[in-house]
Amino acid sequence: MAKNKRKNMGQGTRGGATLRKRYGRIMDSLHTYHKCPSCASPSVKRESVGLWACRKCGHTFAGGAYIPATKLGQTSHRIRVQN
């Protein structure tokens, strides 16, 4: 019988529960498909640290290490649009 698929495989009891939960949330968001800023389809995957690419339209852009758009980047974009 196959084991259940878990987020935090191989962690054991190291680090504490809070850090393992935080790591699980980061890995979840890292491996999901994100929305493309160009074609708006949910097909953006991470190429390498900070580089994201849409598998549908081929648009490649820089973003955060674990998510395509960081909070600081969203804030600076909002300020640029207002001015």
pLDDT single digits (tens) 3-26: 666 666 777 778 888 988 898 889
Q: Do the strands 44-48 and 60-62 form a parallel or antiparallel pair, or are they unpaired?
A: unpaired
Share of the chain above pLDDT 90, in %: 54
Report how many domains make up the chain: 1
The domain in which residue 58 lies consists of 36-82
Q: Give the whole-angstrom CA distance, residue 54 versus residue 49.
A: 15
Q: Please calculate the CA angle 21-67-83 and round it to the nearest 5 degrees.
A: 130
Cα–Cα distance measured from residue 67 to residue 16, given in angstroms and rounded to the nearest whole number: 24
Question: Does any domain span residue 78?
Answer: yes
Model confidence at 56: pLDDT above 90: yes
pTM, full prediction: 0.76
Whether 57 shows a pLDDT value over 90: the answer reads yes
Residue 11 lies in a domain: no
The pLDDT tens digits for 21-54 are 898 889 888 989 999 999 999 999 999 999 999 9
